[in-house]
Amino acid sequence: MPSPMESYRRYLDPRVLDKLGRLELKARTAVEGFMAGLHRSPHRGVSVEFAEHREYVPGDDLRHLDWRIFGRTDRFYIKRYEEETNLTLSLVLDASESMSYAGPGQVSKFRYGAMVAATLAYLVLKNRDAAALALTDVGVEQWVPPATKPSHLLAITRAIDKAELVRRTDPGLVLKELSAKLPPRSVVAVISDLFAAPDRILAGVRELRTRRQDVIVFHVLDRDEIEFPFDRMTRFEGLEGLAPLVADAKALRLAYLRAFEAHQELIRKGCLRHGVDFQVLPTDTPLDVALTSYLSLRAKRGARR
Amino acid sequence: MSLSFGNGALLWGVLLLVVPLLIHLLNRRRYRVVRWAAQEFLLEAFKRTRRRLTLESLLLLLLRCLLVVLLALALAQPFVPSSSPLSLFSPAQRDVVLVIDTSYSMGRRAAGGEALLERAKAQAGRVLDGLSSERGDQVTVVALADPPRLLHSVTTDVARAREAVERLAPDWRGADLVRTLDYLTENVLGDAHKEVYVLTDLQRETFHPGASAAPESAAAAEAAATPASAWRVAAEHDCRFTLVDVGEEAEAHNLAVEELLPRPENVVAGEVVSFTATVRNRTPRDLRAVPATFVIDGQREQGRRVTFDAPAGGVAVVECSTIFRASDAARANHTVEFLLEEDDLPADDRRFLAFPVHQAVSVLLVDGDFAPEPELRETALLCDMLNPSLDPETGGTVFRLRVVDDRRFNGRAEDPADYDLIVLANVARIDAEAARRLDDAVRAGRGLLVFLGDLVDARSYNERLHRADGAGLLPARLLEARGDVREGSDAVFFPLVDDFQHPLLRVFSDPELRQNPTSVPIRRFFRTEVSSKDQATAVIMKLNDDPAAPGALLLEKPAGRGRVVLFTTTADSAWAGWLDNIETYLPLMQETAYYLTLPDLSLFNLKVGDALRRTTESIPAEVCVLRPDASRDPIRDTPREMEYGEFVLPAYRATGVPGLYGLELTYPLSGAGSDAGRREVEHFAVNVDVAESDLARVEEPAFRTLYPGVEVAFATEIDARQVEQAEARAGELWRAMLWALVGLLAAEMALAWWFGRQFRGGGA
C-alpha cells in the first residue's frame, strides 16, 4: 500500500499545479472561471435558509424529513435549504480496461485521466468547494462522496489507486446511476475514452442534463488511437473482451480512422446539442497546457454569460 | 496451340513461382502484437474492407506469380506457330499460304518455251526464299484446282514445301476458284495473319466463270458473281492477298478439239459411220491446211491423215468415215482418237472416243393382232418403216426385227433383255411377270415403244405398266379412247407440235417439212393423264381435240438407263392416217427407233476426274484397269451392289489423265452362261474439259470491276525487298514476353503504391 503522500504525488504534478496556480493569480481564479455560469444560480445545500420541498427518495438523510408535512399529509418530504458551499464538482473517471492502453513512451489513458481528476479536485478543494469522485466501469465501482475539507484530496487519490481496470464500460448505465447520487446543480466532469455506443453515452449525458447538472466531457485518447500510426502486419488484441484481429495495419488505417472519427463526431455533436462541453485530451498533450487552455476558454465564456 | 521452346530446361524456373507465394504466406505469419483499446473501430473497419483487401492482396500475389512465370518462360525462349493466337505477340514470324493454279491452262508454253506453271514455281520459290524454318515461319501450299488440293499442310518445314512446289505438274482440269476460296476459308485461314500468294495465269475461265457463256443466261451471271462473294468471305480473315500474275500477254497459237462423235451414234456393223471432230481455232488468225490424224482402234500406223482450214475464232468440223465389219461387233467396244499437232496449249490437242459397235439393232415386236401372214399383222406397216429397203444390194439392215404374238411374250418365251428395242402394238394386256421383266430390261438400257389400239385393256396397262404410283414404264395413265373410226364418221384430229428440236422431230424442223407431222389425221386415240408429280414425262406431240385440255399423241419418259415412247394411237392405219403419210411415218419411226436404241456414250466417255463405272451380268474373277500409259491398275474390290439386275463394279476414280483407258474383265471358267472363262477389254475415253482451253484473261482493271471491294495486291514478280524486310524483323516470342514482364513489373509497383496510398489516406 503506497503512502498517502505517494498516491497524492502520483496524480498531482507540482509543475502543473504551479502553472495552474499562477494562472489563478493572473486571471483572478481559474476555478472561478471553471465554476462560472453556476454562480448566479441559487445553490441548495444544508443551510438555515429553507429553499424548497421535494419528495423523499430512499437514501435521503432522514434528518431532513419534514415531519410537519408528514403529519398533515402522510407523505414524506425532504426539506431543502440554501447551500452554503457554492459548488460540488463530481469527477466521473472511467476505470474500464480500455483506459489501460498506453502508446509507446506515453502514460496510460487512465493515468492521464486520473491526473486530470486529481488536478481538478485539487483546484476545487483549494477554493473550498466540494469535490466528489466516482470510479466507473460497468457500474460505479468506487464512490467518494462530496466534501470540502482539503484532506479530501487524499481520499480521492486513494480511491483512484484502488482502480483495477479489468472490466468493460457502460457509460449510459453509469451516468444514470450517478445522476441519482449526485447533488443537483453540480458540475460533473466525465473523464473517459468513451469507447462505447454513442447513443448509450448520450443517453447518460441527457439524464444528467435533465437533473440540471453542468456536464463536461473530457475525451481522453492516446495519440495512437487518433492517428493509427501502425504500418505492419499486426495482431490487435482487443481489450474489454473483443476478438483479436490479425491484419495489415496499413491497409486498415483509412477505414479505422473513418469509423473512429465518425464515432467521435457523433458524441461531439450530441454533447453540443445537450449543452455539454466536449474536450478532447490526447495523453501526449502536457496536462497544464490542456487544462489551462480549456479553463481559460471556459472562464471567458463564463464572463460573457 | 503448339508452343515450342528454344531452351526447355529453363522451364523449371517456373517452379520459382513458390517464392512470392511463400513470401505472401510468411508475411501473414509474421506480425507484432498490440493490446488495443479501440478494437471495435478496427473490427468495423476490417469488416468493411475485408473483401477489397483480400482481393487486392490476391491481385498483387497473382501479379508477382505471373512475373516469375513469365520470366521463366521468356528465358526458355518460346516460339509458336502462327496459327496460335499467341503469334500476335511475335509479329516477326511469317505465315504464308501459296495458292498455285494448276489448271491445264498453266501448261501453256510461253514465248521462251517454258510453261506458265514453271514460272509460277519460280515465283513460289522466291516467296519460300524469304522464309526461315528457324524463325518458325509457316507455309501452306494449296493447288487452285477442281477440286482444290492441299499440297503441303501448315508446317515450318520450308524445305519440304519447296519439294512439294517442285513436284507440281499441271492438272488436266480446270480450276474452281469458288471451291478453292471456300477451302481456304474453312481450312487454312484462321485468326492469325497470313500472307496469301495466288500464283495464276488469271485465266478468264477461272476468274470469271460463265463469261464465255451466253450473256443473257441468268445462271451464268450468277455463277460469275459467286467468286466475288467467296473472295470477300475469305478476305474477312486477317490475311493479305497478293495475285502473282504469271500469265502470258502474247497471243497463243491454240487449237482446241471440242467434240468427237460418231454419226449416227448407234454404230452398226456394215453401216457407214463418220467420226466428226469439232475444232475451235483460238488463234487470232485464219489457219490453212492444218494437219490432223484420226486413229481408229489404236492403229497408229494406219492413222488417217487429214487437213482442214480453221477461221480465226471459228470452228472447223473434220470428218472421217469408215465401216465396221460384222466381226468387229464382237468386241465390247471401239475407240477413235483425233490428234492435232501440239500447239502452245497441248492439253486440248487430242480427243478420245469410245463407243460400241452393234451387229444390228435387234427389235422385238409384240403384235396384239397377230396373224400368220406378215402383211395382215398389226405391225406390218411398222416393219416396213423400220426395214424400208429389201434390196439386198444395199447390204444389211440396221434393225433386225422379230415379231411375236402377245401370248408368246406373256408366256416368257421371249426375254426382253435379249433385244435393244421392244415394241408393243395393240397388245391387249401384260401379265405381271412379263411386266417385271420388261421393267428390268428397260431400266437396264433398252428402249420401249408402245402403240395402242382397239384390243388394249386400259386397266391392265394402268395397273402393270403405269402402276398406281405412276412409277411404272408407261409415261401416262390411259383414260378412255376418243374419236370414231366407223364408216361415215368424219371426226378427225390433227397433231400439234410445240418443239421441233426434240430428237424425234428434229428431222421435221426444216420450215418446209413442218406441216408433215401436223397433217396426219388421227381418227381415234386414248386420252391420257400425266401425274402432276411426274416431272420426267414429256408430251412431244399434242392433238387438237380439245383446246382447253388437248390430248397427247406422243409421250416420252426416261426409265433408268432406258427410255419409253408412247403413241396413243395405233401402229397401223386403223386409227391414224399413217399409210397416206409415209413421208411422216417413215422418218418418225426411224428416228424413234434410233432414239430409243441410242447407246449411252456417257458410260464410256468421261471427263477428267470422273469416276469410271461399269455393270456386268456376272461377277468377273479379275478386274484390271489398263491406263493410257499402258500400266495396269487392278481393282481388288468385289461388286457390292446391284442395279437393274446387274452387278455394279467398284468405281475407279484415278482418271486424272486424259486418254484411252481399258477395263479388262476376266470371268471365271465356272461362271454363268456365255461369260464363262471369257476375257474382254472394254474401252473408256477420258477427255479434258475444253472450257479451260480458252486462254482469255482477266486483267487487273477487269478484276477490280469483277471483284469490287476485294483487297488484292497485284504483282508479276515477288518483291525481293519485301523478303529482306521480313528477314530483318527477326525475333521470337520471348521479346514480347520480356516487354510484358516490364509492363507487369510497372503494373505491380503502381498497384502496390496505389493500394497503399488509398489506405494511408489524406485525412489524418
pLDDT (tens digit, 9 = 90+) per residue, B613-633? 888 877 888 889 999 988 998
Distance from CA of A151 to the nearest CA of B (A): 34
B26 at A interface, C-beta within 8 A: no
Say whether A252 and B756 touch across the interface (CB within 8 A).
no
| pLDDT tens column, A154-166 | 888 888 888 888 7
- Residue B276: the pLDDT is 93
Predicted TM-score (pTM) of this structure: 0.56
Which residues touch B683 (CB under 8 Å, ≥6 apart)?
B332, B333, B334, B335, B354, B604, B660, B661, B662, B663
ipTM of the complex: 0.74
Q: Which CATH architecture has domain B607-690?
A: Sandwich (2.60)
Tell how far CA A46 is from the center of its chain: 24
User: Three cell numbers at A266?
Assistant: 457523433
In Å, the largest CA–CA distance within chain A is 75
Residue B678: strand, helix, or coil: coil
| pLDDT tens column, B236-266 | 888 888 888 888 877 888 899 999 999 888 8
| pLDDT tens column, B478-514 | 999 988 888 777 788 999 998 898 888 988 988 888 8
| pLDDT tens column, A210-227 | 888 888 899 999 998 888
User: Three cell numbers at A217?
Assistant: 466531457
Say whether B32 and A98 touch across the interface (CB within 8 A).
no
- Residue A171: the pLDDT is 76
B/e letters for B135-157, b = 16+ CB within 10 Å, e = fewer, are bbbbbbbbbbbbebeebbebebe
Give me the residue from B27, B44, B755 closest to A259, CB to CB. B44
Domain B85-250+696-728 adopts which CATH fold? Rossmann fold (3.40.50)
Task: Tell me the average pLDDT across B300-304.
Answer: 86
Running DSSP on this structure, what letter comes out for residue A59? T
> How many other CB atoms are there within 10 angstroms of residue A303's CB atom?
12
- Residue A175: the pLDDT is 84
Mean of all residue pLDDT scores within chain A:
77
**Please, where in chain A does CATH 3.40.50.410 lie?**
4-39+85-304
Q: Which CATH architecture has domain B361-598?
A: 3-Layer(aba) Sandwich (3.40)
> How many other CB atoms are there within 10 angstroms of residue B399's CB atom?
22
Beta partners for residue A154, in sequence order? none
Say whether A253 and B761 touch across the interface (CB within 8 A).
yes
Q: Which residues of A touch B43 (CB under 8 A)?
A: 238, 242-243, 245
- Residue A45: the pLDDT is 43
Task: Tell me the average pLDDT across B23-35.
Answer: 80
Q: Which residues of A touch B40 (CB under 8 A)?
A: 195, 238, 242
Q: Which residues of A touch B33 (CB under 8 A)?
A: 234-235, 237
> How many other CB atoms are there within 10 angstroms of residue A181's CB atom?
14
Radius of gyration over every alpha carbon of chain A, rounded to an integer in angstroms: 21
User: Whats the size of chain A, residue-wise?
Assistant: 305
Q: Which residues of B touch A227 (CB under 8 A)?
A: 764
Least Cα distance to B201 among B346, B342, B100, B126 occurs for B100
Say whether B32 and A232 touch across the interface (CB within 8 A).
yes
If one compares B311 and B133, the residue with the highest pLDDT of the two is B311
- As a whole number of angstroms, the distance between CA A136 and CA A175 comes to 9
Q: Which residues of B touch A235 (CB under 8 A)?
A: 31-34
- In three-state form (DSSP H/G/I as H, E/B as E, the rest C), the secondary structure along B639-652 is CCEEECCEEECCCE
User: Three cell numbers at B102?
Assistant: 494448276
Let me know if A82 is exposed, middle or buried by CB neighbors in 10 A (0-12, 13-18, 19+). Answer: middle
User: Three cell numbers at B315?
Assistant: 470452228
Say whether A247 and B33 touch across the interface (CB within 8 A).
no
Say whether A252 and B45 touch across the interface (CB within 8 A).
yes
Reply yes or no on whether the pLDDT at B353 is more than 90: yes
DSSP string, B121-133: HHHHHHHHHT--T
User: Three cell numbers at A287?
Assistant: 496536462
- As a whole number of angstroms, the distance between CA B457 and CA A189 comes to 134
Task: Tell me the average pLDDT across B112-122.
Answer: 86
| pLDDT tens column, A269-286 | 999 998 888 989 998 888
- Residue A8: the pLDDT is 60
Domain B255-358 adopts which CATH fold? Immunoglobulin-like (2.60.40)
- As a whole number of angstroms, the distance between CA A172 and CA B410 comes to 124
Which residues touch B371 (CB under 8 Å, ≥6 apart)?
B377
- As a whole number of angstroms, the distance between CA B6 and CA B325 comes to 77
**Alpha-helical segments (H) within B334-379:** none
Distance from CA of A234 to the nearest CA of B (A): 5
Distance from CA of B19 to the nearest CA of A (A): 19
Report the relative pairing of strands B659-666 and B622-626 from DSSP bridges. Answer: antiparallel
Q: Which residues of A touch B53 (CB under 8 A)?
A: 247-248, 251-252
- Residue B547: the pLDDT is 85
Q: Determine contact, residues B390/B535, Cβ cutoff 8 Å.
A: no
**Please, where in chain B does CATH 3.40.50.410 lie?**
85-250+696-728
Say whether B38 and A195 touch across the interface (CB within 8 A).
yes
- As a whole number of angstroms, the distance between CA B199 and CA B116 comes to 10
Candidates B34, B44, B758, B760: best to mutate against A (most CBs of A within 10 A) is B34
Let me know if B549 is exposed, middle or buried by CB neighbors in 10 A (0-12, 13-18, 19+). Answer: exposed
| pLDDT tens column, B58-110 | 888 888 888 888 888 777 766 655 455 555 555 557 788 889 998 888 888 88
| pLDDT tens column, B707-761 | 887 888 888 887 755 554 544 444 456 667 778 888 888 888 888 888 766 655 4
**Please, where in chain B does CATH 3.40.50.880 lie?**
361-598
User: Rounded to the nearest 5 degrees, what angle is found at the Cα of B255, between the Cα atoms of B299 and B267?
Assistant: 40
Reply yes or no on whether the pLDDT at B410 is more than 80: yes
Say whether A254 and B31 touch across the interface (CB within 8 A).
no
Beta partners for residue A219, in sequence order? A192, A280
In Å, the largest CA–CA distance within chain B is 138
**Please, where in chain B does CATH 2.60.40.10 lie?**
255-358
Say whether A236 and B57 touch across the interface (CB within 8 A).
no
Report the relative pairing of strands B524-529 and B477-483 from DSSP bridges. Answer: antiparallel
Say whether B761 and A257 touch across the interface (CB within 8 A).
yes
List residues in chain A touching B: CB distance below 8 A. 97-101, 109, 193, 195, 222, 225-228, 230, 232-240, 242-243, 245-248, 250-261, 263
Least Cα distance to A240 among A117, A116, A137 occurs for A137
DSSP string, B62-110: HHHHHHHHHHHHHHT-EE--TTSGGGGG-TT--EEEEEEE-SGGGG-B-
> How many other CB atoms are there within 10 angstroms of residue B47's CB atom?
11
Reply yes or no on whether the pLDDT at A114 is more than 50: yes
User: Rounded to the nearest 5 degrees, what angle is found at the Cα of B142, between the Cα atoms of B136 and B146?
Assistant: 170
| pLDDT tens column, B138-193 | 888 999 888 888 888 887 888 888 898 898 888 888 888 888 888 888 888 877 77
Running DSSP on this structure, what letter comes out for residue B342? P
Q: Which CATH architecture has domain A4-39+85-304?
A: 3-Layer(aba) Sandwich (3.40)
